[in-house]
Amino acid sequence: MILSYKEATQECGSDYNLLKAVSEGSMFKIEEGVYSTERFEPEIGIVMKKHPKAVIAGEYAFYVHGLTNVIPEKYDLATSSKAAPITDPRVRQSYVNDKVFSLGIIEKEVDGINVRIYDKERMLIELLRKKNSMPYDLYKEIIMNYREIISHLEIWRIQEYASIFPKSKMISKALDEEVM
């Protein structure tokens, strides 16, 4: 189980007991501020423990949802527009307006870890909004995969998300032309 420093200290009873547990091998210091009861933990679990308010988004979310085979080089994390910058070199941060930040957040298991990630419907909106800023072949792969699963998505949710985002008419038009 992955624990923050505070959680690990509470688990062990004190800072001294935490240090003792680490030296005895019953607790492992994974990296600064992150501890575990296991020697090895999935990197996504470590990243999410360090940034618990962030949400998996971008290319990494498309990969997790099985919409692309391309393994991203970095973890794409969305944060509130008022969040502090993430300095972790493994992470590509995007700031999201507070009005739409919480739309479509779900819990999903990734490598045995429950993480916060945007649902497929929200990610479709993100794909249509950012299609000009991603590689064309990646966009085409993802959009083709969306066409295959569109009957399994909640269309009302996609329409609801689209109506809340800026440029909602452009998003709705792209949705009709490219996916439906």
pLDDT digits (tens, 9 = 90+) for 147-172: 999 899 998 999 899 888 887 777 77
pLDDT at residue 169, rounded to an integer: 76
Nearest 10 degrees: Cα torsion 93, 127, 151, 176:
150
pTM metric for this prediction = 0.89
Report the pLDDT value the prediction gives residue 152, as an integer from 0 to 100.
93
Sheet containing strand 105-110, edge to edge, reads 91-96, 75-80, 55-56, 113-118, 105-110
Which helix (H) or strand (E) is 140 found in, with range?
Answer: helix 136-149
Q: Give per-residue pLDDT as tens, 16-59.
A: 999 999 999 999 999 999 999 999 999 999 999 999 999 999 99
The CA distances from residue 3 to 111, 117, 124, 132, in Å, are 16, 20, 33, 39
User: Quick count: other Cβ atoms within 10 Å of Cβ 16?
Assistant: 10
Q: Express each pLDDT in 92-114 by its tens digit.
A: 999 999 999 999 999 999 988 99
Residue 117, beta-bridge partner list: 56, 106
